[in-house]
A and B are shown apart, each in its own frame.
Chain A
Amino acid sequence: MPNRELTFKIFRYNPASHEVTPHLQTYRLNETEGMTLFVALNRIREEQDPSLMFDFVCRAAICGSCGMLINGRPGLACKTLTRTLPKQITLLPLPVFKLIGDLSVDTGTWFRHLSLKTEAWIHTDKEFDPTAREDRMDNATALKIYEAERCIECGCCIAGCATANIRQEFLGAAGLNRVARFMVDPRDLRSGRAFYEIVGNNDGAFGCIGLMACEDNCPAQLPLQQQLAFVRRRMAALGLKL
């Protein structure tokens, strides 16, 4: 591998000091074997600019903290090898989410709001009995729930979504996938009608205009369009019954 000198153009803005307007700042770094953006950004911060703000937690594509625009596309910085990128790399914070500073955005508030709005927990009137054996579940069903549950709330699907970028209350692919997770769960006793109240509108299943960037950008490779289709079919079936 050639010894490349990489040029990073990184979005800078610190809401705590209004005297500096948002701008792109240039950093240069020699690429090393197996370098990821996690390695590169930490090196820039430690060796060149300790004021640079960005987020990593697990650095293993499990926690979803490090979503950012990498040369224009939403992705996880931790699992992006620099060798997959050209010599010039532009990094911007994810849109839609509130900016904390530089590359760091507030996904926590956004996703908690989403959970509250979709009531993303099991709705049941059954009491837990600590003395009883667990309820049985078919393993295929368990795996189906897990398939939808795998979302890491990184926000890449939301950032890449045209509707989410123009309509603040749109649930986006992460939201519809979350609802689908509870729809397939036999422990959730919500009626079709209750789900319709949540997603049967333009902020939900009918707001999607089908550009499919969500699925293209999903670092967990969730079948987001399939989930949307599933939710829409459920809504349509319910509509026919009403």
Chain B
Amino acid sequence: MVTTHVTDVLIIGAGLAGERAAIEASSHGLNVTILSLVPPRRSHSTAAQGGMQASLGNCAMGRGDNPDIHFVDTVRGSDWGCDQDVARLFVETVPIAVRQMAYWGVPWSRVVAGKRTLPDGRVIEEEPEYEGLINARDFGGTAKWRTCYTADGTGHTLQYTMDSIVIKMGITVHDRMEAIALIHNGERCLGAVARCLRTGALTAYLARATVIATGGYGRLYGASTNAVINEGTGMSLALDTGMVPLGNMEAVQFHPTGLVPVWILITEGARGDGGYLLDKNEYRFMPDYEPKKKELASRDVVSRRMIQHMRKGFGVDSPYGPHLWLDIRHLGAKHINTNLREIANICRNFVGVDPVHQLIPVRPTQHYSMGGVRTNIDGKAYGLKGLFAVGEAACWDLHGFNRLGGNSLAETIVAGMIVGQKIAEYALGADLEFSSRLVEERIRRQEARLADLIYGRNGKENVYHLRREMEQTLMDYVGIFRNGKDLETAVARLQELHQRSRHIGLVSSGRGASPELTSALRLPGMIRLALCIAYGALQRTESRGSHAREDYPRRDDVNWLKRTLSYWPPDADLPELKYEPVKITELPPGDRGYGESSAQSGTGSNPQKA
């Protein structure tokens, strides 16, 4: 038996973006229902250690900052791949968002007046006039210190505060509930069919507006800093309609410092506070490549320099392939155990390294997905009315081909505010119209999908084996450095895996909240996303932001100043790619101003394959 749940606004995903959008819609008097794979406070947003960029200009090194400077940093960071009207809206709104989070309860670290010496010897002085206002720290790729933070638990305090408002407002949250298909009539999205991860039962959710806020697709890669739930499920739902395109799926960011071999993120805060990168000879190599920004060049640049340096043979050999060292010992026990406490705990607990006395093994690791459900500036998905997307699941498009540290947490909340408003406007003006026959048909289709898996009608392929092969294919052939030959290999392998994924057979009974069934339902969609990444990367014959082609090392604005749109036609085995221009309003394409062009990047074998 299938139950039906009717609501004004259905939000899929309860991280910061989903919850902020829910609060906005709810504050307009709309009935809002949030679905979440896990209790909201377990969302991946909680894990963000770094911070949220806002040009408050309170701290000494942030003095004179304003939205214009933040705008330029963001556009440059994106390698001119972002929509500049979105970036402008974002930088103007983010100071309000940060202050509102303070009003709701985030403690934020505050400015303390007085002098202090930075690790590089510079002395800075915080003025009494700014004492007690929200502080900011240094992050990669920005002209000013702009990243607001709460010690090293920024994501945690933001998510808990946000969730407290959701609870206070009485917003309905159905946790352990996974949307497995959108319900639509070819023009309008009407909601979603969801499967309960407690019981396995299906529910049809019908809504005036449906919002995808499911985060990124990092877990398609074998080595990712992402939580295990970041499998791109929301994007799959949109792609599988055949009408909604995904934007820039090939834009995948690697974080310079994933902890080897557990791939837990060591935040930029470590380098922002003065941590160095060292090679196998314990030599600090970054100043040789990036004399000005050193370890604080943007993420894509630092990641590439690390790979380049390892290719020259300066990596530290390990059973998990070559890696480099992060050194924070000189910051001292007091600083490490307070300001960088989470980092210290992670090192001690997960690899048995004490960073007060020892070097931390790190390597560039998949970290963020710039691509997602393509929306306009209002957060409306292309292709279907009543469908919205927000946060990392969306390609809004603020980040273009490279996201700056501290801009993603900021995006979740700012987009939640802005798009939440547009969702409310839309839902208040939309009827809840649906044909019960259509809804029943959509449910039956999902019931059949479940039954085929439970009764073994499809074949005997093992879901975990296929998944490992997909992860490995992306790691080996669609990594930090890419080339035509590898990408062709990746596309061919993924196509084969996609075929095989139609023949998954369960080993277990699949009853109740079966974890194997959950994986089996997700995997074919994940492989389609992987194909969007690999095929999009193969076609894009230039290097831009995080997308670095060894065979096309230069950015090519003549042919590629545009966004990839991936569609998945019914029964296809490859995405159909279309392109649209990026919106340039204020800042014409120019030099990024940091990081060399990647001309010298393409030599030697790829250590990622190790």
Contact = CB atoms under 8 A, between A and B. Distances in A.
A232 interface: no
Given A16-B511, A50-B508, A53-B513, A142 B108 contact: yes
Nearest to A83: B352
Contacts of A104: 513
Nearest to A147: B151
A139 interface: yes
A138 B110 contact: yes
Interface in B217-265: 227-229, 261-262, 264-265
B132 A112 contact: no
Interface stretch (B70-78, B161-169, B279-287, B391-399): B161-169
Nearest to A154: B42
Contact of B104 (A116, A120, A122): A122
A142 B100 contact: no
A9 interface: no
Interface in B29-51: 38-44, 46-47
Contact of B47 (A56, A62, A130, A149): A62
A165 interface: no
B512 interface: yes
Interface in A114-141: 115-116, 119-122, 126, 128, 130, 132-139, 141
The size class of the interface chain A forms with chain B is 35 or more
B41 A111 contact: yes
Contacts of B351: 34
Contacts of B463: 50
A50 to B, nearest CB: 4
Nearest to A114: B167
A50 B167 contact: no
Given A14-B511, A146-B150, A61 B109 contact: no
B175 to A, nearest CB: 5
B133 A134 contact: yes
B297 to A, nearest CB: 26
A150 interface: yes
B464 to A, nearest CB: 4
A139 B511 CA distance: 52
B71 to A, nearest CB: 19
Interface of A is mostly: loop
A15 interface: yes
A145 B105 CA distance: 10
Interface string A40-64: 0000011101111101111111111
Contact of B38 (A15, A57, A116): A57
Given A57-B227, A57-B229, A17 B512 contact: yes
Contacts of A216: none
Interface in B117-157: 131-135, 150-151, 153, 156-157
B107 interface: yes
A16 B41 contact: no
A121 B164 contact: yes
A138 B264 CA distance: 32
A137 B150 CA distance: 13
A14 B510 CA distance: 11
Nearest to B40: A108
Contacts of B165: 121
A62 B394 CA distance: 25
A150 B110 contact: no
Nearest to B176: A108
A101 interface: yes
B99 interface: yes
B352 A81 contact: yes
Interface in A8-56: 14-17, 33-34, 36, 45-47, 49-53, 55-56
A46 B198 contact: no
Nearest to B45: A63
Interface in B504-523: 506-509, 511-516
A234 interface: no
A34 B167 CA distance: 39
Contact of A120 (B151, B164, B349): B164
A130 B512 contact: no
B20 to A, nearest CB: 14
B167 A115 contact: yes
A108 B107 contact: no
Among the interface residues B157, B160, B261, B463, which one has the most CB atoms of the partner chain A within 10 A?
B160
B512 A122 contact: no
Contacts of A149: 107, 150, 153, 156-157, 160
Given A50-B508, A100-B513, A146 B157 contact: yes
B105 A138 contact: no
B96 interface: yes
A108 B47 contact: no
A59 B264 contact: yes
B413 to A, nearest CB: 13
Nearest to B345: A61
Among the interface residues A49, A55, A185, which one has the most CB atoms of the partner chain B within 10 A?
A55
Contacts of A100: 176, 198, 513
B350 A134 contact: no
28 contacts: A15-B512, A16-B513, A34-B351, A34-B352, A46-B464, A47-B464, A51-B516, A57-B44, A59-B262, A63-B43, A63-B46, A81-B349, A81-B352, A100-B513, A108-B42, A108-B175, A112-B167, A120-B164, A121-B165, A128-B100, A134-B99, A135-B102, A136-B110, A139-B132, A141-B107, A145-B107, A146-B157, A149-B160
Please give me the 8 A-B residue pairs with the lowest Cβ-Cβ distance, nearest first: A16-B512, A108-B39, A136-B132, A51-B508, A50-B516, A121-B164, A139-B110, A142-B107
Given A50-B514, A187-B105, 5 more contacts: A50-B515, A57-B228, A58-B227, A120-B164, A134-B108
Interface of B: 38-44, 46-47, 96, 98-100, 102-105, 107-112, 131-135, 150-151, 153, 156-157, 160, 163-165, 167-168, 173, 175-176, 198-200, 227-229, 261-262, 264-265, 319, 342, 345-346, 349-352, 463-464, 506-509, 511-516
